[in-house]
Amino acid sequence: MSLFRDLPWPLPEWIARAGPTRVRSTSLDNHDRRSITGGGFVWSSSTFILALVLVLYASTTWNAVRLFWRRRSRFYAAMLVLIVVQLYDMTFTLFWLYTGATTVQMVLDYLACATFTILFSVLNLLRFRQIGEATWPRTTIFLGMCTALFAIYWVTHMIIGWYSIASTGCYGLPGGVTNDMFAIGYLSDAALNGALSTAFLVQLRAMSRGNVFRAGMQRYVTKAQFLLVFESVSLAAVLALQLIDPAVDPLWMTAYLAQGIRMAAYCTLLDLLTRIMARRRKASRITQSTSLSGPEAGGAGGSANACVLAAAQTRLASERAASGAATSRRAASGGKASGAPSTIETMPPSLQRSADMSGT
């Protein structure tokens, strides 16, 4: 605290002396025990990034719970599982890995890493299949095969890690092999996520070029496209840095930050896609209903529906005209030529009496 008095304060000298004097009047030891901060500020980039990650996870958790409560979608339930396993992996790396983790903790961490990557890739595939399978069947099959190979890699990685724990009692293989395997696995995750996001982006652009969107929907599509690009680029950049120089981020905090950004963007994207598809279905129903009213609805579908409707109306008019002509012939012949009763005979008795009373 002596630095406080030596600073060039533009204040009277007695005010500059008052601060340190007042601090010295208390016990610094008791102050350190009572406070939640230390006697001075020490910058920690890991703590700073950890705070950002926790804020992102808290925000994503709230959005996932809120959207799951409103829509009961399995995607939001899976997002909650992803957040839990990612928080466990981060806690293991920061607090247990370098301080003597137990065997159970190491086994669970390998399981958490494999669960996170495989479940996220499956969610991406299901997201694309919902809107792109009918348009891109071969692409969907190819991406499904890539997802299966990716899952096999992570299951193999998990089994190798478990074998290393059982044989040596240590986490991972010696020589930095485990770090490289994690980096390659996460980089493959980024590549697969980029492929799925690119296919999804192409499908969204194809949908936006059609006439299925109402006014104002282009804004949702543009925002969804930005989120797809942002989550892919952030993850790929962080993992490339980890492969180039692992010493820059030995705790993988930037990777956890990228995953937090990815999950937050994914949850927001799911909400946007739900709105897009809901309005798309509503717009399609409106288009179909207006196309039945005549050819002014536009499009090949509207013209075809108008032709069908015109043919049905013409046929109905012809049947009514033929029915009217047959009725006139029966009335003229008294209903005897065709064997059918005449109209006078089929008139109700009350109407016959009223006709007789009127003298007709």
Q: How many residues does the chain have?
A: 360
Q: What is the pLDDT along the chain (360 residues), one digit of tens a residue?
A: 455 445 454 544 544 444 444 444 444 444 455 556 656 667 778 888 888 999 999 998 998 888 888 877 788 888 899 999 999 999 998 888 888 888 999 999 999 999 999 998 898 888 888 777 777 888 889 989 999 999 999 999 999 989 989 888 888 777 677 777 887 888 888 888 888 878 877 777 776 665 555 555 667 667 777 777 777 788 778 877 877 877 788 888 888 888 888 888 888 877 777 776 665 555 555 555 544 444 444 444 444 444 444 444 555 555 555 555 555 544 444 444 444 444 444 444 443 333 333 343
Question: Residue 107 corresponds to which tokens in the numbers above?
Answer: 């086994």
The reported pLDDT for the residue numbered 63 is 86
Q: Which residue has the tokens 């652009």?
A: 205
b/e per residue 317-342 (b: at least 16 CB within 10 A): eeeeeeeeeeeeebeeeebeeeebee
Topology at the third CATH level for domain 45-289: Rhopdopsin 7-helix transmembrane proteins (1.20.1070)
What is the rounded CA–CA span in Å between residue 125 and residue 197?
9
- In order of 69, 180, 238, 251, 258, the CA distances from 241 in angstroms are 38, 12, 5, 13, 12
Q: DSSP characters for 175-214?
A: TTHHHHHHHHHHHHHHHHHHHHHHHHHHHHHHHHHSS-PP
Domain boundaries, the chain: 2-29, 45-289
Cβ atoms of 246 and 262 within 8 Å: the answer is: no
What is the rounded CA–CA span in Å between residue 268 and residue 171?
35
Q: Report pTM.
A: 0.63
